[in-house]
Amino acid sequence: MGRKPPEADIDETDLEVEGSAHAAAGPVAVGVALKRAVEQMGVRRATRTLLKVNQADGFDCQGCAWPDPDAGHRHRFEFCENGAKAVTEEATLRRVGPAFFAEHPVHGTAGLASRSDYWLGQQGRITEPMVLRPGDSHYRPIGWDDAFRLVADHLRELDSPDQAVFYTSGRTSNEAAFLYQLLVRAYGTNNLPDCSNMCHESTSFALEQTIGIGKGSVSLHDIETSELIVVAGQNPGTNHPRMLSALEAAKHNGARIISVNPLREAGLVRFKNPQKPSGIVGHGTELADLHLPIRVGGDFALFQAWGALLLEWEAVDREFVERHTTGFQEYADGLATLDWDAVERSTGLTRAQIEESARMLADSSATVFCWAMGLTQHRHAVATIQEVVNVALLQGNIGKPGAGLCPVRGHSNVQGDRTMGIWEKPPDAFLDRLRDEFGFEPPRHHGVDTVEAIRALRDGTAKVFIGMGGNFVSAAPDTEVTEAALRNADLTVHASTKLNRSHVVHGRTALILPVLGRTERDHTGGRPQRVTVEDSMSAVHASKGPLDPASPDLRSEVDVVCSLAQALFTGDHPGARIPWSEFRSDYATVRQRIASVVPGFDDFDRRVTEPGGFVLPHPPRDSRTFPTAAGRAVFTTSPLQVLEVPDGHLLLQTLRSHDQYNTTIYGLDDRYRGVKGGRRVVFVHPDDIAELGFVDGDRVDLVGEWRGERRVARGFRIVGYDQPRGCAASYYPETNPLVPLDSTAEGSNSPTSKAVVVRLVPAETP
């Protein structure tokens, strides 16, 4: 593949399967990253861009939300293979302009709608606003002012502001996110679903209930100085590669690591640090001291069992428990009768394995618990994360050096977007401050989350969908239902950098608004602007792109929001009194407003200019203060729930390959799992393959049965793969048709993407 985009789409007959790799990162990773960057950008642009990634004077890598080292301690190359791919994807020299759209009809046999997200994304950057009007076969250019007028007219015609849905993906800067929620609330709704609803919502909900704040409690320094790190339900080698450097540093300081994962993911087993000679030539570092090959969904039971053993062994920080927590006795009583048979069935682990790992916990006086989607996307995700908190509280592992809770966020500013008020359930205190600052009464009733938004569009109670980034159609569950929902809309609008399926599965009228990405210089209002983001550890810092924009017609997200607001709010509408043009021409004025509305942002504009930015307050981390209703950290008692899978079925988790960013498919090489040239694979234990009457390499359809409904995803190649019996894994988003819209986590309403009960049947079309 060269500078030119691929003409052909994915051809699954090119699929090749080799054994899985044993080490992550290392020189191969560097090579792959540079090759892709040079292919799409050329040598000079690639070098110039990559040298600015995650530097104090550069831009924040859009790859993930992992924090950067302190300003003085960064490498010259402070990025990873997959960060470089994320940057390349955006900084590519490929372009999708009016000629492209004139050439390609949206529908029909060779239409854009017949293409995969891979093909669409590989075509390049969108250069001009485009519109698809009712009855049209092709997208056509539209001027920016006409585009804003079109959206404003639709919004004004609705019977109620609640008939519009305003989605956000997690790349949006703090400034754009703050203005976006301001626009939406001034318009009159809290319909602000975001990718978080499908991601760490279970975490935010569980932490809010137990420690009083929905964010993690550790710093990078805590990781590097901990005695024990538990990494559960997370694949850092692929999704947060720079985390491996922190884990390596921790190991050098004597930490031990437990990996809890159905799969033996490459990065956790062995890691070659590309920034060090030993990583280039040596065997790398053995990261995990103990790997627990847990059954999918077994973490709830594992953490209960750990709690029970710590109690039995009296490995409890009594002083912390007494001074800072509530609910301990009930929790301890609940675990006294723990059903060990159920624990072993649920986890697929032996009692010896659980005791060995619990012993490591007992022996550690500073433990960090890390987790991601393997814990959050389950029916009992909230209860599971509360069990993680229970175990942390037992040993006082919150608010002390080297210890804490570390949910590892996904999108690079997903945490910041929530801080800025992108939330369908805003707290009253936030709305009060918004009212006092801007002089209008924000709506108080809750809005729709992602799942509810799909229902509202499906049922016609919502008619307009606006997406600030993201790829709603492909990222959301139950693809057929979601596609029908979007097609049912009067208007779908996407502020995007690249083409994706949400542009081609659309409402009666569809708009694409092309925006600047992180890599690009933002010269809005005639002056250079910068934006800010918040990472997974609550550090806020500035981001400024070095490159010329992909096209002179791009606008910043801040500009898009302000311009839409100006088109929408006229006359004596309270929204018309908000100084949108001032905000657009000087983002510092937005930061001043953020400082007045959002706690922890005092003197924001000045503090963010300091190298490395600043860290937001976190009462449990900073002073063991727990802002819950009880004023203490809360032990939660929940009855053990075991996920039972009927005979002949498998429990399927849907995960990321090493060559994608969510629905953006960079390439077809999942190097660490040995899959190349295609993506439709299902990983199954060799004994399960045999027991189900198949052989490795067979092509099957995946059939989901849920509450009497049947869902099918077609044409997957079976790949024998080491994991607990009864489990299976396959890539997202190809498997999203199998995730039922109504199958969500209790409490957070996140789709259960990591627990889909399926049957394998011989493929209908071989």
Ligand X SMILES: Nc1nc2c(c(=O)[nH]1)N[C@H]1C(S)=C(S)[C@@H](COP(=O)(O)OP(=O)(O)OC[C@H]3O[C@@H](n4cnc5c(=O)[nH]c(N)nc54)[C@H](O)[C@@H]3O)O[C@H]1N2
The b/e string for 61-72 (b: 16+ C-beta within 10 A; e otherwise) is: bbbbbbbbbeee
Whether residue 271 contacts residue 23, with contact meaning beta carbons closer than 8 Å, is answered with yes
What is the residue whose two structure tokens read 């108080």?
A: 444
Binding letters toward ligand X, positions 456-485, x by CB under 6 A: ------------xxxxx--x----------
* The binder of ligand X chosen from 294, 456, 562, 597 (CB under 6 A): 294
Cα separation, 611 vs 592, in Å, equals 19
- Beta strands, E only, 660-744: 660-661, 664-665, 669-670, 675-676, 681-684, 699-706, 709-720, 727-731
Site for ligand X in 368-427 (CB under 6 A): 372-374, 377, 410-411
Task: Tell whether residue 26 is a contact of Mo ion (CB under 5 A).
Answer: no
Distances (CA, A) of 252 to 70, 73, 216, 227, 281: 19, 17, 24, 11, 18
Q: Segment near ligand X (CB under 6 A), from 491-499, 625-633, 691-699, 740-748?
A: 491-499
**Shortest CB 198 distance to ligand X, Å:** 4
Q: Which residue is nearest to Mo ion (CB)?
A: 410
Instruction: Calculate the CA dihedral of residues 456, 458, 460, 464 and round it to 10 degrees.
Output: 70
**Shortest CB 336 distance to ligand X, Å:** 25
Task: Tell whether residue 505 is a contact of ligand X (CB under 6 A).
Answer: no
**Shortest CB 159 distance to ligand X, Å:** 28
**Shortest CB 132 distance to ligand X, Å:** 16
* The binder of ligand X chosen from 209, 529, 536, 663 (CB under 6 A): 663
Binding letters toward Mo ion, positions 726-745, x by CB under 5 A: --------------------
Instruction: Return the axis-axis angle of helices 428-438 and 174-187, rounded to nearest 10°.
Output: 90
Amino acid code (one letter) for 533:
V
Whether residue 539 contacts residue 526, with contact meaning beta carbons closer than 8 Å, is answered with no
Interacting residues of 707 by C-beta distance below 8 A, sequence separation 6+: 740, 742
Instruction: Return the axis-axis angle of helices 351-363 and 340-347, rounded to nearest 10°.
Output: 90
* The binder of ligand X chosen from 310, 558, 753, 758 (CB under 6 A): 753
Site for Mo ion in 160-219 (CB under 5 A): 199
What does 753 bind: ligand X, Mo ion, none (CB cut-off 5 to 8 Å by kind)?
ligand X
Give the nearer residue to Mo ion in terms of CB position, either 199 or 739: 199
Tell me the β-bridge partners of 165. Answer: 465
Q: What is the largest CA-CA distance in the chain?
A: 72
Task: Tell whether residue 265 is a contact of ligand X (CB under 6 A).
Answer: yes
Q: Segment near ligand X (CB under 6 A), from 151-159, 295-303, 332-340, 354-362?
A: 295-303
Task: Tell whether residue 739 is a contact of ligand X (CB under 6 A).
Answer: yes
Tell me the β-bridge partners of 712. Answer: 703
What is the residue-wise DSSP string for 444-511?
A: -S----HHHHHHHHHHTS--EEEEESS-HHHHSSSHHHHHHHHHT-SEEEEEESB--HHHHS--SEEE
Helices vs strands, H then E, count in the chain: 32, 32
Site for ligand X in 98-157 (CB under 6 A): 121
Whether residue 141 contacts residue 525, with contact meaning beta carbons closer than 8 Å, is answered with no
Task: Tell whether residue 24 is a contact of ligand X (CB under 6 A).
Answer: no
What does 519 bind: Mo ion, ligand X, none (CB cut-off 5 to 8 Å by kind)?
none
Local structure of 410: helix, strand or coil: coil
What does 498 bind: ligand X, Mo ion, none (CB cut-off 5 to 8 Å by kind)?
ligand X
What does 384 bind: Mo ion, ligand X, none (CB cut-off 5 to 8 Å by kind)?
none
Cα separation, 507 vs 497, in Å, equals 19
Give the nearer residue to ligand X in terms of CB position, either 504 or 700: 504
What is the residue-wise DSSP string for 629-652?
A: TTSSEE------------TT-EEE
Task: Tell whether residue 636 is a contact of ligand X (CB under 6 A).
Answer: no
What does 301 bind: Mo ion, ligand X, none (CB cut-off 5 to 8 Å by kind)?
none
Task: Tell whether residue 660 is a contact of ligand X (CB under 6 A).
Answer: yes
Give the nearer residue to ligand X in terms of CB position, either 158 or 499: 499
**Shortest CB 87 distance to ligand X, Å:** 11
Site for Mo ion in 393-412 (CB under 5 A): 410
Task: Tell whether residue 754 is a contact of ligand X (CB under 6 A).
Answer: yes
Binding letters toward ligand X, positions 312-331, x by CB under 6 A: --------------------
Residues that bind ligand X (CB under 6 A): 63-64, 82, 121, 169-171, 195, 198-199, 232-235, 238-240, 260-263, 265, 294, 296-297, 299, 372-374, 377, 410-411, 468-472, 475, 495-498, 500, 515, 517-518, 557, 653-656, 660-664, 732, 735-736, 739, 753-754
Kindly list the residues in this chain that would bind Mo ion in the complex (CB under 5 A). Answer: 199, 410
